[in-house]
């Protein structure tokens, strides 16, 4: 009897551990069970990527549809090339879509916003969005403002 | 002059001898882990004593640490108008740092000291020697289950600590300070990554568990078989394991999150 209670106690303890791990995974770190979703890759070249990092969101009309998986420098153009992983169900972006680096709030995180165009053809896996708008860098903005003031 | 040098050399050799003895000791007892069917009951008793009985202190302190973090974070973040990020701050500091470290410190105080005292007393009352006389290996039947129990229970205790801490922080932030629940969880989930943050916390805690169980069991086994000897050994367990945990935490953090 004694040993059975003991084993039950240990079993309960182990169970609490497993439940905790599940809560940490699903609720705290937001791991989704359907992470094996099918995705395809798009690229976009920006003049300045600002504070964009890997794992940043990719959104359309504010809805998250993918994330940034890699950022590299194109040595010929000196442009930042961003590799984006986009959920396969959203595969109808026209070739004249535009991508912009936006900021959540005044000092918040950077993310990519895609605005679809009106062309007939759709972007395929591995293709590049050419029409892009760089991140707004606060220093440049202030610099331009001061320069304008000085000219006046 | 030569006498002083001799003393210095002697103490250096002593330290090395202790390191060597404890390494041999831990390897031997890990070798001596009894098969699950035979040693299952011994292990079960230790899991209960070391793990289940440590739950109250872990749950209560986790709760209060989470609540304090939320409250402190709020008073600072509200100055920048960023009080929505309390969830993010709470989960990152708990999962990365406070969970593993505070659990390890509490575990060293609660379970490590009792392991040392128990084994030390067994040695002082010559129970270990009489086991050897009977042909029973004390490393196998006394030490190995305790070592293994400490090793298994601490990561589980850390997970429970984290969840209770986040719940405590949630109560303070959402129910008391009126932070919008949606942004509390959304910020937390977007900032915390399972692979990097949660897994690294678990790895930290496994390392700490090994170090604490090792120090506690060895100090008990190596204690002078007198009543003062047991007292000294118990103190040493708590001091050495706390220092080892804090030092290792810095090293592990530098490796995991240092980015170089």
On whether both A24 and A88 belong to a single domain, the answer is: no
On whether both A64 and A4 belong to a single domain, the answer is: no
Residue A147 in domain: no
Q: What is the pLDDT of residues B187-212, one digit of tens each?
A: 788 788 888 888 999 999 999 999 99
**What is the H or E stretch that residue B145 is in?**
helix B144-170
On whether both A84 and A131 belong to a single domain, the answer is: yes
| B95 reaches A (C-beta below 8 A) | yes
On whether both A17 and A56 belong to a single domain, the answer is: no
Inform me whether the pLDDT recorded for A75 exceeds 60. Answer: yes
- The Cα–Cα gap between B117 and B131 comes to 18
User: What 3-state class would DSSP assign to A90?
Assistant: coil
Chain B neighbors of A23, CB-CB under 8 A:
163
Look at chain A and report how many structural domains it folds into.
Answer: 2
Residue A117 in domain: yes
Nearest to A20 among B45, B159, B197 (CB): B159
Closest CA relative to residue B94, chosen from A14, A109, A24: A24
Specify the pLDDT at position B113: 93
Asked whether B104 and B212 are in contact (CB, 8 A), the reply is: yes
Residue A79 in domain: yes
Residues in chain B: 260
Specify the pLDDT at position B208: 94
Token pair in block for residue A127 = 């293709």
- The Cα–Cα gap between A102 and A50 comes to 10
Whether residues B194 and A14 touch (CB distance < 8 A) is answered with no
| B199 reaches A (C-beta below 8 A) | no
On whether both A19 and A65 belong to a single domain, the answer is: no
| B87 reaches A (C-beta below 8 A) | no
Token pair in block for residue B84 = 């929505």
- The Cα–Cα gap between A9 and B52 comes to 7
- The Cα–Cα gap between A61 and A39 comes to 19
User: What 3-state class would DSSP assign to B154?
Assistant: helix
Residue A68 in domain: yes
Q: Helix H segments across chain A?
A: 2-23, 138-151
On whether both A43 and A28 belong to a single domain, the answer is: no
Residue A69 in domain: yes
Q: Is residue B73 exposed (0-12), middle (13-18) or buried (19+ Cβ within 10 Å)?
A: buried
Specify the pLDDT at position B192: 84
Regions in chain B scoring below 70 on pLDDT: 32-39, 259-260
Specify the pLDDT at position B259: 67
- The Cα–Cα gap between A36 and A41 comes to 15
Residue A45 in domain: yes
State the complex-level ipTM.
0.76
Closest CA relative to residue B36, chosen from B175, B191, B148, B170: B148
On whether both A13 and A53 belong to a single domain, the answer is: no
Q: What is the DSSP letter of A46?
A: E
Domain that holds residue A6: 1-34
Residue A122 in domain: yes
């Amino acid at each position: 009897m004694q040993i059975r209670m003991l084993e039950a106690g240990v079993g309960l303890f182990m169970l609490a551990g497993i439940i905790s791990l599940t809560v940490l995974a699903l609720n705290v770190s937001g791991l989704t069970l359907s992470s094996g979703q099918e995705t395809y890759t798009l690229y976009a070249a920006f003049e300045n990527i600002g504070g964009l990092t890997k794992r940043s969101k990719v959104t359309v009309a504010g809805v998250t549809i993918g994330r940034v998986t890699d950022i590299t420098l194109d040595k010929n153009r000196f442009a930042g090339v961003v590799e984006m992983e986009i959920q396969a169900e959203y595969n109808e972006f026209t070739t004249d879509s535009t991508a912009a680096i936006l900021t959540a709030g005044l000092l918040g995180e950077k993310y990519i916003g895609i605005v679809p165009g009106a062309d007939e053809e759709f972007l395929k896996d591995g293709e590049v969005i050419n029409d892009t708008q760089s991140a707004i860098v606060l220093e440049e903005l202030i610099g331009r403002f001061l320069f304008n003031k000085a000219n006046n | 002059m030569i006498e002083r040098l001799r003393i210095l050399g002697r103490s250096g050799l002593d330290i090395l001898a202790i390191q060597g003895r404890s390494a041999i000791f831990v390897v031997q007892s890990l070798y001596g882990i009894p098969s699950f069917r035979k040693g299952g009951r011994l292990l079960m008793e230790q899991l209960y004593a070391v793990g289940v009985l440590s739950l109250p202190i872990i749950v209560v302190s986790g709760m209060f640490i989470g609540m304090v973090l939320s409250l402190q974070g709020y008073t600072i973040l509200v100055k920048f108008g960023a009080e929505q990020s309390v969830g993010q701050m709470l989960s990152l500091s708990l999962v990365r740092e406070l969970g593993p470290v505070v659990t390890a410190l509490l575990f060293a105080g609660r379970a490590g000291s009792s392991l040392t005292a128990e084994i030390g007393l067994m040695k002082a009352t010559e129970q270990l020697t009489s086991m050897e006389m009977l042909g029973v290996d004390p490393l196998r039947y006394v030490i190995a289950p305790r070592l293994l129990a400490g090793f298994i229970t601490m990561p589980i205790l850390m997970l429970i600590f984290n969840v209770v801490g986040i719940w405590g922080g949630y109560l303070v932030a959402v129910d008391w300070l009126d932070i919008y629940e949606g942004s509390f969880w959304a910020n937390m989930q977007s900032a915390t990554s399972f692979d990097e943050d949660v897994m690294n916390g678990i790895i930290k805690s496994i390392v700490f568990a090994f170090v604490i169980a090792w120090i506690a069991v060895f100090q008990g086994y190596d204690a002078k078989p007198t009543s003062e000897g047991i007292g000294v050994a118990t103190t040493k367990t708590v001091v050495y394991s706390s220092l080892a945990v804090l030092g290792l935490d810095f090293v592990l953090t530098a490796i995991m999150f240092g980015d170089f």
